[in-house]
Structure 1
């Protein structure tokens, strides 16, 4: 196995970064009296899937039954709206944070996390961070999250006319053998003894998804080549690097299958190479998030050990206490994605209260944000 050569905080990129920028707003107080804060969210979204299956156009925000529908409404334009309006609410009240505040709108949370990583390397470290990622149908506080590795496998077979199928080697069928090996790995990783205590009680926390497949040329030709893209979850207690080595081993083993004799099987890693993490529930920022949400809404954030991931891991790597909590979203990455309007209101008020207590307040000026 070969060790990855990229910087530990970055994942192998999928695309060029030319003309694809993060947007950052910086607030500077007249006098620093409180603790500095990052408010962060991602602006990228996943594809809409089958647009004809949506009840309304996926890229048009539609309010229906107390919810905003559209791709990215929950994941996570709603969260960005929460922190922007929280800051604006303080200004409308004639106040502003008495500590530096960074507002990050970043790219690539959905495939690498490199947008968040770039901001953290370019900007001063803050005393705390709030990321209003959505909850799964309820207002949630993230307690832990899995890591993720993206892998791509290309099987090159031997084309033939369908009348001579036995002389050929079907790359699509070969890719199915490789995909089955990944599902066997998934089953092993979900064995009870492998599950970290932070995920106990979560059904099937380590997921392997066959997300894309491209292959074949003609219905009457034995397929020459097939490429599959997979997302592999990483349980707390394991690392992305260890998972990469596991994937290298399982693909090498699958390539020795008798039905793949004579095929070429190539493995590459592009996209997520992300470690799992557990958030410190006793940290000041998380205690404050719980208290501010209760004061703002009269309710309580529900703990959520996430079987997906957020950019929160990057802040923990840099030693920044982080609270990931956000509004009620439904069907993210699916059809008819939505976020609750009242949930956005509640999380906005909670972030405003948390920012006021964390940073302190001073009388607003006209040019504090650049």
Structure 2
């Protein structure tokens, strides 16, 4: 696909003016989204939120489809969901060019992470209160703000009096926050044919990476658990046992001292924030024993391994196994016995930044903000991995752009700047969508 023609100056002005006029309506819709507690886990009120999105799309002329995950698949696809239902929503808006037009798919997840200790919040986490130009609430930036912006970006094009030649698809999905190699959200839509690789020309996922950046990829991830197996003994006679906890701690120390310095040298300067640019290995959970007066025969240590582009899952696993082999050959650890499991793994992802979908967003950012767009990598994985890695054929033209700032994700008093982030995001998306799909 060649780079689409530029919009005229009059069209650009009309779209930006329409985006500003629609901001109060978008703000009201975002507040309604935030006020629905969709905390995941376990995944509360998904049906209510999906229907709020679907009803809004329907009122704007979309054909709406709700996609329910079959109950019998919930234990596999939503293991932390306590059996609660999973409903995704897709809206489709036909363009004027019919089958000859391009199709752009806009995607956002409406589940949010837990609020943590509510006393740490200055503003109610599901109150959607506005103070000093910022709307506060869980999901304001990550990423109900993105869903609101993607819907009203299309409305800005229409309000400007322009008819899109190509088709628009909008999806609101669940369970991005609890991820998984397959999940009940974007993964389910792709695995079951709701995302059509032969029809869709590009996908934009509206996660917050700062409104002046186009994100073309994310770091790879392994969430793994090593279980060390020992032999029970009385706490007063530890020599009769094999202490699994000692083995787990020795492994943590050896991996930290040997792998840590190596990983710190592997960096990707496109990753934001700068603190996330190096490959990393973090040990996050450790458990063992059932009572204080027995040497434990089982110890579990979980880790979070982040990969930069150029690393592979196979290589990262081999490094972990290499530390284990080294430890087992160390005097005093000959009895080392372990098993390995992964909860989640995804390769690092990077798509070409010179594709038309990336170029139109970069140009729109320059038009709206006056700044050259950054081309960045996300510090964590996101739903980009599904169309790039799971679809056949893959949709390589999958990028991330949304309003808000990643530093707001998962924190207490999460918020979004309504003027400088939400409105800017609507304007950028509207101009990029109009140019990518063409207007008349």
> Whole-Å Cα distance in 2 between the matches of residues 255 and 44 of structure 1?
43
Find the counterpart in structure 1 of residue 131 from structure 2. 64
Q: Does 1:338 align with 2:415?
A: yes
Q: Tell me the equivalent position of 1:80.
A: 147
The alpha carbon displacement at 1:75 in A equals 2.1
1:350 match? 428
Kept after mapping to 1: 8 A contact 2:272/2:376: no
The one of 361, 364, 380 equivalent to 1:292 is 364
The answer to whether the aligner puts 1:106 opposite 2:179 as a matched pair is no
Contact in 2 for aligned 1:140/1:301 (Cα 8 Å): yes
Is the 1:290–1:300 contact (alpha carbons within 8 Å) kept by the matching residues of 2? yes
Aligned equivalent of 2:379, options 299, 307, 312: 307
Cα distance in 2 for partners of 1:281, 1:145 equals 13
- Distance in 2 (alpha carbons) for counterparts of 1:225 and 1:214: 9
Q: CA deviation at 1:288?
A: 0.5
Q: Residues 160, 50 of structure 1: CA spacing in aligned structure 2 closer, same or farther, 3 A cutoff? A: farther
Instruction: Find the aligned partners of 2:147 and 2:411 in 1 and give their Cα distance.
Output: 20
Does the C-alpha gap of structure 1 residues 354 and 54 become closer, same or farther in structure 2, counting only changes over 3 Å?
Answer: same
Distance 1:258 1:70 in 2: 54
- C-alpha contact 2:272 2:379 (8 A) present in aligned 1: no
Q: How does 1:13-92 map to 2 (within 5 A)?
A: 15=79, 19-32=85-98, 34-92=101-159
Asked if the contact 2:202–2:395 (Cα under 8 Å) also holds between the matched residues in 1, the reply is no
CA apart distance, 1:286: 1.1
Paired residues of 1:315 and 1:321 also in contact (CA < 8 A) = no
In the alignment, which residue of structure 2 is the partner of 1:7? none
Q: Distance in 1 between matches of 2:350 and 2:134?
A: 31
Cα drift, residue 167 of structure 1: 4.6
Report the CA distance between 1:76 and its aligned residue. 1.8
Task: Write the distance in 2 (CA, Å) between the matches of 1:86 and 1:22.
Answer: 21
Change (3 A) 1:347 1:239: same
Q: CA, structure 1 residues 60+255, in 2 after alignment: closer, same or farther (shift >3 Å)?
A: farther
Q: Aligned-pair distance for 1:186?
A: 3.6
Structure 2 equivalent of residue 120 of structure 1? 190
Is 1:162–1:221's contact at 8 Å kept on the other side of the alignment? yes
Corresponding residue for residue 6 of structure 1: none
Distance in structure 1 (CA, Å) of the matches to 2:111 and 2:233: 42
| Structure 1 residue 284, shift from structure 2 partner | 1.1
Does residue 176 (structure 1) correspond to residue 249 (structure 2)? The answer is: yes
- The structure whose RCO (Cα within 8 Å, separation 6+) is larger is 1
Relative to the length of structure 1, the TM-score reads: 0.79
Q: CA deviation at 1:349?
A: 1.6
Distance 1:227 1:56 in 2: 38
Where structure 2 has 5 or more consecutive residues not aligned to the other structure, the ranges are: 1-75
Alpha-carbon RMSD: 3.4
The aligned counterpart of 1:246 is 319
Query: Following the alignment from structure 1 to structure 2, what is the Cα–Cα distance between the partners of residues 211 and 226?
Result: 14
**TM-score, normalised via structure 2 length:** 0.67
Work out the number of aligned pairs and report it. Answer: 347
Structure-to-structure mapping, 1:185-200, within 5 angstroms = 185-191=259-265, 194-195=266-267
Map 1:223-234 → 2, pairs under 5 A:
223-234=296-307
